Amino acid sequence: MSTTAIATNIQEVLDQLGIKKMNEGASTGAQWINTKGEQIDSYSPVDGELIGSVKSATLEDYETIIATSQKAYKTWRTVPSPKRGEIVRQLGIKLREYKEPLGKLVSYEMGKSYQEGLGEVQEMIDICDFAVGLSRQLNGSTLHSERPVHRMYDQYHPLGTVGIISAFNFPVAVWAWNTALAWICGDVCVWKPSEKTPLTAIACQNITNEVFKENDVPEGVSNVLIGGADLGIAMANDKRVPLVSATGSTRMGKSVGEAVGKRLGKSLLELGGNNAVILTPSADLKIVLPGVVFGAVGTTGQRCTSTRRVIVHESIYDQVKDVLVKAYNQLKIGNPLDESNHVGPLIDADSVNTYLAAIEKVKAEGGKVLVEGKKLTGEGYESGCYVSPSIAEVENSYEIVQHETFAPLLYLIKYSGDVNNAIEIQNGVKQGLSSSIFTNNIRESEQFLSASGSDCGIANVNIGTSGAEIGGAFGGEKETGGGRESGSDAWKVYMRRQTNTINYSTELPLAQGIKFDF
């Protein structure tokens, strides 16, 4: 597809989603605020073209947004949860209507394949569906009191304003994971999206505004602030924001966690991953190949769940190596809106430079590069953001291997002995997000899933590390932050627990038999 054809097609998408050439960077839901911050220009990594610009929000705008959200919370928390769920249900329907244009904008602004862009919007739809059912099941527990004719129970109440800081690689889905649950819990949300993908955030707010306007939702339930790190810092230090959900690098997460912790607030951190696949001698290599290759090069290696390391038993190591090298040499790299391509661009030139530097670091530490990634130039690669993926033979102890390189750099690591040796290698990094094992040996799979097995928040058998279903809680341990989003009981982080005791007798028995004689 030519640059002219892409631009023409994208203009139709922008018109559908209400994106202008110049956009405001703050909204309370009812209106877009006339912001006066610095201009943010969004260039597509697909073709290097300017998509649109945003006047970023200032700290003054931040104060306006927070004050509006605080006022909205007083009304929103009184709306019955099933009623809030009904509004989220309508948002899911609206997202179905906008799935194609929003998915295309995600692909064009972020650089992931069109299929992945559509898949990200589908995740938004799925979390809305999940939240609708959950809105009738925010269950507490009935407890047994040690005192006669007393009743005890737990119940959950909303927290207030929830701050959301999201990353460029999933510019819309992570916001939806948080907002859909926070809204049905009775919270209001203030979203600071990545400055690298501001237009997808504006599109989401425009879509939400349509639904909220139709249902007379108070102004300030859905808010967006587009701008620099100063907005995130303000949010992390703001006592009026009881929960901050932050997705991004471990470095960023440590900064947010420290600031929120100092004020004794709550943080939900979804940070870096250094995810490994273990291949045991009994692994079915027919399913290994697509799992590993997609996990490593999908979204051009810019997923927190991307496969970074493949830990292979020595008995099948050479076979696996040969198959992967052959597969990498057949990858099609180019415009992600062309569904025949496997790999699109990195997000920007800085990411390209970081990737190339990592390859050189591998060499310097003694690694053997089997497929060397390069920056691609020429027709179709004018944006300067396209690279070819890499494979390298390494040791897990290398410094570069211990860190997450947010790019399509795959490490092959050989192990010998039993599966416990492979698990030790897998766990031997600071991150603990996603992991998987390919095996037909039930003892190996059960060992991998046991308390002495994978130390990650996600542990899969015979599927890859990349991606996760809405129904399960998503998140990881160690320097991944310990947060959980999406399914299972992740909703509880958006609420405060309250224990209630009711005495329905005519006496006041005290605990532990204590008595006062009056």
| Catalytic sites, residue numbers | 270, 304
Q: Using the Cα atoms of residue 485, residue 489, residue 493 and residue 494 in order, give the sign of their dihedral.
A: positive
Helix (H) or strand (E) holding 152: strand 150-158
Whole-angstrom Cα distance, residue 487 to residue 135?
A: 13
**Which DSSP string corresponds to 56-121?**
---HHHHHHHHHHHHHHHHHHTTS-HHHHHHHHHHHHHHHHHTHHHHHHHHHHHH---HHHHHHHH
Provide φ and ψ at 349, rounded to 5°: -65, -35
Classify residue 93 as exposed, middle or buried by CB count within 10 Å of its CB (0-12, 13-18, 19+): exposed
* Per-residue b or e along 394-415, where b marks 16 or more CB atoms closer than 10 Å to that residue's CB: bebebebbebbbbbbbbbbbbb
Q: Do the beta carbons of residue 306 and residue 273 sit within 8 Å?
A: yes
DSSP code of 490?
G
CA distance 501 to 156: 14
